[in-house]
Every structure is written in C-alpha cells, then in structure tokens.
Chains A and B, each alone.
Chain A
C-alpha cells in the first residue's frame, strides 16, 4: 500500500475521526417539524425547535431505529442509554443546551474494516440533535469575526444526528479517506442518511497527532470545516506535517481546535483548550432512559441489508477479483453487483463480466438496461476468442447504446471476427521472420520492441488478431 502521507524521520501519524450524520427521518429528533433540506428558512419550526419557554422534547422513534441500524452495521453493542444536556451559549443553539448522549450512549464498541483487512475501532455512535444554521454577513471571510450581522435558520435545529466516534486507530491519510468512504457507503446501504458532505448531512471532524513508535501518543489537535473526502486527506497531510515541523523546530503542540481552510490548504487556530467551554453535562431531566428491548434490536439486526464489505467479498469470490480492488469497490458502490451476479448466472464469464461493468456502466445505475443474458453472451464471445478484446469493447458500447441485442448478429454486422490461435501464430512467426532486428531487440530484453511488433501484426491482420493473444505468443516464443 502506498504510504501517501509517510512522515519523515520515523514520525508516525495517529488519527481519530468524529463523523456527524443527519438521519433520514421525516421529522426532527424531539419534535414533529419536518426534517427537510432546502426549504425556505424558518418554516420547519415549532415551540420545541425554538426552545420556547415551556417546550419539552419527545423522542423520535424512527431516529432511534436508524441509529440502531448504524450501530449494528458497525458491529456495536446496542445498550440501555440516557440523554444529557451539553450547555453552552450560541445563537444557533435555541435552548442554550444540546440534548446529546454522554456516559451511556446507545451504541458502543464496534469496528469498521478497511481494505487490506485493517480494523478501525468505533468507540461509540450516539444520538443527538443538530443546531440551527448561522450565516454571517458583511465580513470578508463569511465567518462571525468581522461580520456586520448574522441571520439564523432554525430549520436544521433539532434534526436528528448520530455522532460516530472512531478509536485513534487510523495511521495514514489514505486510511482516513477510506474510513469516511466506507462509512458513507454503509450509511447509504442501511438507509440511515443520504450522507452528502456537500449538503452537510455528513460532517467530519479530524483529530490528528504524531509520535515516534513505542512512545505515548502526542498531543492532538481537532480540525473542523473538513467538507469533503478529499479534504480529509489533505487536512491530515498538512496538519501532520505542521506538527512534525513544529516539534522538530523545538516547539510543542498546543491542544486546540483548528479550522481547515480548503482554499489555502492550511489549518489555523480556532480556539485553544483554555478558551474551551465547560459544558456542565448533566442528565436530561425532561427525558427518561431509553431501553430498547431485545426483540426490537434483533428485528433491526435481521432487517439489515447485506453490507458493502460483504457484497464486495461475494463479488470477489464470484469473479476472481480482489475484494479490496478497484473493480469490486466501484461495482458495489454503484449497486451493480447484483447485476454482475445475474450476468454470471446467465452463463457469462465472471471476470469479464465485472470488468465490463466496471469500465462501461458508470452511467447505468443499479439496474442497467442491457439484459444480463446479452452481456453474458458478449463475455463468452471474447472468452472464446470469437472477437478480439478491442472488438469486444466496441460491441460493448453498441450494446449499451442499443440497450441490449444479439451480440453475435451485431459482431457479424460489423464484420468482426477473431482469427483463431493457430492463424495468429502463423502471423507471429511471419513477423519474427520479417523483422529480425525488432525481434533481436526484444529477445535481448528491450520490452519496448514488443509493442512495435504487436502493433505491426495487428495492423497486418486488419484487427482480426487479438492483441493479447499476439503478446502471449511472442512472450512464449522468446528464448
């Protein structure tokens, strides 16, 4: 695995991620106002949302169900839990406290697997409510500092959130990106959230520290405003380097929260530990403990769909590809693994099926229009060398444009046929004899000469000789 964020001088990176996910419920966490993105500001509000005097919270049952789905999909234990108040003052926090979970969260002690069988611990996944959204006007940065006034939209206030906290098991920025991507696909698979970072329905805070092996973890900094998977990697790479440079320059890391600026590619201090609020957590007296009964937990667990990792495993076994490889990742991400299985069931060549789908079906969605049997037939044509791989690519495009069809007929119409191996071998021998210079170069180790020979033979065959077959023959003939 390439160490994209390898640090110099033996420094090791330690990363933990806190991901906030907005749940796909119809209504809010504690009230019946709609949970909907994009509506006119301050239209999905009610006394509870605004924290009016006398308003009281009531738990949203579907939010609990979705939170349990997330926890179970992350291999957590679902347990009896309580709610706490996290107290601080800010205009987008209507009650001046957030109802969240503190020492008894709903889901604990899970994990997520990354490619290469890397296991990242999930410490907890708990329920809480979102704040309103502030927009600041008049300043140059769009942030509160230097602004003339601020407007607040409370549509988002009270939207159900699940906060997923990883253990600090992540060791590279690539792993961090993979974690976020895999988490996202799990959230989509279980229907808990649409997890759109660009809309804020999935938000990442990144905790970064560095240390030398066999020494305690270093002081960590929390990075906020990381708004895309790509930024997760960039922010970690920058911050790790900043910390290493600071320490090697004789400085010490201050425990603080930093703001990621995507435009400049840097983190900067937002607030230090000294400025940090004392949240004065205490048990929320307006709610009673939540004790999901075992039959409910079991029902949620058994209703979980097959998760992306399991689907990639199945696809890998079916098609002989790497479960952590690009084709498995892409095909399952698009939801096309079921389609590939159908192609194989229709007699298609498994390896070719997954590769065709990976390479050509990006626009097709989870239910491609090309009937499985038609694609199966194409894979077999290529497998049996009835058409060359180049010809097969063309036929694939035709199939997709036409939405299906009889590939044998389509191949005939185009005048495609592949020469069989003995005919190709004859052409190879002829080329060796005709180009002794090129052949000599290739035999003495010049790999580049191969390409020229293959190209010449394909041209001479008017495209009817399969490039892969030619290559294999030349390689075999080389002493």
Chain B
C-alpha cells in the first residue's frame, strides 16, 4: 500500500498518474468492501473524475496541491456538498448537504481524491461501529471482530488499503481507539486546531477531526493540510498549522516520557506488555521515563458520560423532521416530533439523548452536569501539573485488542469502558495519537497512545516517529 508522500511525489513528477492510483484503490474496494463494509457510499465516478483532473493539471504544467492524487475517505459525519451525508443514521438517510465542511474544502484544494464516505457508529456515539443504522464495519484483520468506533469505517478503509488516508472525528477516543484496533495511526489534534465547520456535531466542546494513515509521516502531512484557523468556527484557534513533518527525524534524546502510575484498572496484560515495550524503546533512544499521577483520571469516564450526552441532547434536537432529514407525519406537531425521532434514531443515540437531557434538567443540573464540568477542570489541572515534569505521556490506547462482535453490546457500560484511556484527552482539549506497536492477543494489533499538552503536537509526533522507527 502506498504512502501519501510517495503518491504525491509520483503524481507531481508524472511518474505516477492519479488515475492509476485511484484505480488501484478502487480495485481493493471492489475486492473486499462487500465483506468489510467500511463505506456507506463509494464515490467511484467522482474519484475517477477528480483523479483525471489532477492528471490533466500535471500534464498542463499547472501547480497541484500537497495531496495531489491521494485517495482519501471521509467519515460520513462530515458535510460533502451534493453527496449524501448520513451520520449512519436513518434520520439523515438521503440527506445531501448544500455545503462542504472546511476540511473537505482544504483537502479538495490540496488535490485529494475522495473515494467515499465511511461508516460510523450512529452520530459518532459508540466504540465498535455496531451502532450504525446501516450495519457494522468488520475489522479487516479479522472480520469476526469490530474495527472499533465510532470512526470504524475510516480506520478499516486505511487498514484494508481502500484509501491512502482517511479522516475521522474523535470526541472520547473515536479516532484513536479504532486506529489501535485496526493497526493504523490515528491522531486527535489539540481542540481548536482543525475546523469543526461542517462536522456534524456530537459534543461540541469535545469533537475534533483528525487523520487515519498507515504511518506517522503521512499523519503529519495530512494534519498540516487540514489544520489552521477557520473564521467559520468560533472555537478555532487563531493560528496557522504547526509544522510537523519537519520534526519527525529529531529523535527523543533528552525528552521526558511520562508513565501514569494511577492508571485505571481493566487493561489486558497483552496490551500492558506492549506499553512496557514502548517505554523500553524510548529509553533506549535516549529518553527518560518519569512517573506522573493523574488523580482525577478515575472520574473522567463518568464526567464524560455526562458532558458528552448533555451537549449531544442539544446538538441532536435539530433533527425534528421540519427542515431536512426524514419526517414521519402525525396528527399534530408534538406527535410528529415523537414519531420522527422514534423512527429515525437508534438505541444508543436515544439512550444518550435521554441521559443528557436528564443531566441538564432543572433540579439536576448542579448535581450532574455542573459537577462534571468541575471534574473537567480537575483533570486539566492534573495534566498541567504532570506536564511540568514531562514532555509527553504514554498510555495504552484501548484496554484490549479488537473484540468480537456482540461481546459488549449487552451492557452499554462495558462498551463505555473502551474509552477509559482516551477520554481524559478530550476533556482537557489536548492532542493525543495512537501508534501501532506490535500485536497482542490473537495476533491482533495493539496501539500505544502518545499524549501531549495543548499545542504540543511537535513533541507528540517526535515520540510517535521514534516508536515507529523502533519496530
């Protein structure tokens, strides 16, 4: 499978055509997509047309972008003008946005070729893609297992070679966890570095878009393209994209790597073994391991499962059948609202809307949502103290390797525990990425998570690059 860097170099120099590249990827899709179901929609015709345009520009000597000819898949919660965007929900089935998300425009301007919209847990709520209204995605490495979620389709697309890279969204781990489970690189950047305009909101103060790629260099390349201030997003940090590719070869000599001594229980031994191996590799490369404590980490899961559903209950209230989406007619207004949302939303979405509404309701706000916001502040303070002593922190990404379909669907709480190591980052607004680091049980991939402080992407990528080199 080809790297972004190689594709761009080839296409720009003319030694490769974008059309040939896209055909290769479309062939892999044709061969295995029926089995994997990474996509809600494969946009083959559009991809071929995009590729042809790039090739024509190259032939004409015109300048092409930093991602010229790169086949990219987009999670189906990012608005693509004129192309169905469903969030894997029945309520938006058939809906075509009249506008592009900012990241889509940036990719388009950079010459990327879109191969399709990928499957996800409905409205990005889940950790296995089993909550999709259109059927789950299978893990390409073992189709009896989940690819993770909520960006399961995007992770699988890169893992199976359907796209050279993909975009996902991460609210509590929805890029990093599927990346770990599918053996690819997945990055959640600092909150505010990548525009959310056009990303269908789940939890506004937590959501971030980020890349899935097959290696660290590709992730850095893609992230540089999609980052940067966007005036259409008021939470967008007012600065340009940070240079990341340039630091990849710096190594980690003299860097401090944090080990969390009060990590929550529940991590499988095979995963912990890979984490230890990661610490060893970094030590050998000249880094120092430092113990850090994050006392509030034990409250993060609970705080998240109050804050995220609360914001979601508000963000998803707009799906009322009035202006867009699928409506179920009824005798009067309230009956129409109820029938539309009953039919349109899946179980987990309904569960979180109810949880969130409850947490915000009069008489309960202070005890639940108000308290959760305080925990959020506590974890930020814990991280701030930790980052005085260390440059990055290393943890497992997921407590286990990819699990079997149906093994966690009986108990929502069991599913929620998948996010125990990824959630704290979202609460603090920090960056974190998952790097494949060998295999664990049943020969399934294990990901190691590198965490950094706000706008600490350079330190994070240096360590990730070193980990990748050490394999």
Report which A residues bind B (CB closer than 8 A).
47, 50-59, 85, 87, 89, 91, 94-97, 144, 152, 278, 280, 282, 285-288
Contacts and interface: CB of A to CB of B under 8 A. Distances in A.
A39 to B, nearest CB: 19
B311 A53 contact: no
Given A91-B333, A278-B362, A288 B234 contact: yes
Contacts of A144: 333
Contact of A59 (B87, B199, B232, B234): B234
Contacts of A94: 318, 323
A291 to B, nearest CB: 14
Given A53-B79, A53-B200, A94-B323, A58 B234 contact: yes
B364 to A, nearest CB: 10
B97 A54 contact: yes
Interface in B198-229: 198-201, 203-205
B82 interface: no
A51 B318 contact: yes
Nearest to B233: A56
Nearest to A154: B323
Q: Which of B198, B322, B362 has the most CB of A within 10 A?
A: B322
B406 interface: no
A383 B165 CA distance: 91
A96 B317 contact: yes
Interface in B299-322: 310-311, 313-314, 317-318, 320, 322
B326 to A, nearest CB: 13
B197 interface: yes
Interface in B100-149: 101
Interface of B: 78-79, 85, 87, 92, 95, 97-99, 101, 196-201, 203-205, 231-235, 310-311, 313-314, 317-318, 320, 322-324, 333, 337, 357, 360-362, 365, 369
Nearest to B322: A91
B318 A95 contact: yes
A155 to B, nearest CB: 14
Nearest to A150: B333
30 contacts: A50-B324, A51-B318, A52-B99, A52-B324, A53-B92, A53-B200, A53-B318, A54-B97, A54-B196, A56-B233, A58-B232, A87-B360, A89-B317, A89-B337, A91-B320, A95-B317, A95-B318, A97-B317, A278-B361, A280-B357, A280-B360, A280-B361, A282-B311, A282-B369, A285-B204, A285-B205, A285-B235, A285-B311, A286-B204, A288-B234
A42 to B, nearest CB: 10
Given A85-B314, A89-B317, A282-B360, A50 B323 contact: yes
A287 B232 CA distance: 11
B314 A54 contact: no
Contact of A96 (B200, B310, B320): B320
Q: 8 smallest A-B Cβ distances: which pairs?
A: A96-B317, A285-B205, A280-B360, A285-B204, A53-B200, A54-B198, A278-B362, A54-B79
B133 to A, nearest CB: 15
A54 B201 contact: yes
A57 B234 contact: yes
A97 B199 CA distance: 18
Contacts of A56: 196-197, 232-235
A160 to B, nearest CB: 15
Given A278-B362, A280-B360, A280-B362, A54 B317 contact: no
Contacts of B337: 89
Contact of B200 (A54, A87, A285): A54
Contacts of B78: 54
B86 to A, nearest CB: 10
Contacts of A47: 97-99
A287 B192 CA distance: 12
Given A51-B323, A52-B324, A280-B361, A97 B201 contact: no
Given A282-B360, A286-B235, 15 more contacts: A47-B97, A47-B99, A51-B323, A52-B99, A53-B318, A54-B200, A56-B232, A87-B317, A89-B320, A91-B322, A97-B317, A282-B310, A282-B311, A285-B205, A287-B234
A55 B10 CA distance: 37
A96 B318 contact: yes
A59 B232 CA distance: 10
Contact of A97 (B196, B232, B314): B314
